[in-house]
Structure 1
């Protein structure tokens, strides 16, 4: 393993975060706080508790997951797209660095940013409502797995995209709506039976459900299934990245 090259790519990507601190950290935290204030005040006044948990606390895992998914994709997609845009990607590809090392560096940096952001949002939420994390280990596990998985997904989007507008296409039109419809702000058990079954086709449901279970010990679906779905998506993303580097898709042209 070329650890020096991996460290250089990782530190370069992390340094970009500190140079754009307002955009990378402050803006998502403010946006999430506004979500929390609006949903917590407007809906929380009408829905006091869900499954014995105050509504303000109930939406915290969903808000963290919303930011985690969007920021993981955004960080990773821009991180690999920018070298493609400037042409410096060819220097990386010609260097003695394997595709695994390149992927680990970019995805590791994007996931690190998202995890830091998620923890900051968690600390911010604690200022609004009292929080108790029932399973801290599983909370961190779901946080890390989700960040890594969707950073890989963003890495794939960054390679696929041939314009800046495409970098925002999937997060805005697919991921964000799926997150809102995935039980981030409500329990799917509140839906009619037919829509409960339809919602189970939404992969974000399993992420939010597993993450919420780590906080409150309640879940819409089995925790084992939530973890399994996350690992399956992670494996699929790894296979796609391996295929991209093997074939040179959108990299050699």
Structure 2
């Protein structure tokens, strides 16, 4: 629709879906596809035309990308302006990295762009960690803030309380979406999480007004991580990455006070290179 499309993208949109690309063209296509897509634009297009032309164009480009990825490629050269890390990520079969304010994920021949979620941040930390293990308190504190890792400290502070309240607002919107989609499983999980957060906020100061201690709340933190991860897995499934979601469900678990990622055969994950600041 835009007149300022790169020549390659214009040619691909006008051509067949089985267009063969060289390594440099493939890298340019990947770089174009990882550009953030405006939800507002998509909604405006649907309201005006009844369909989003942006999404249609993107789906065609993704089809061309999948067609070319089925062929073995060696020694791919980065596109102009693309560094080696970006070129490596473009060719890697397993990618989990930042993409603007969201995430680009690829695995088991499937890929997609996703909005930011706490669960995605947890997964990224586990994939990057030595031996795939991160202490639960460190995992939650490092991602969400407001939770200290020193035994005896209070579990909640102002930042954590703010995080809880923001999550309640998100849950309200997600519950409405689940009801529209008649997704009873998601509705049940969201309702349970909402009640858990409300209970947490209600009892945040403990009995007699004294703050609860971190050591008393490991089970709550474990539940918090599990809920966030499950939301991330469901997002992957909804985005077409069912195999990867199942892979994470089978390989991410809690061991004592630690969260671990331990597959039998660890994929070679590319965790950077497609980041857009």
**TM-score (normalised: structure 2):** 0.26
In terms of fraction of residues, the more helix-rich structure is 1
TM-score (norm 1): 0.27
- Structure having the larger proportion of residues in strand: 2
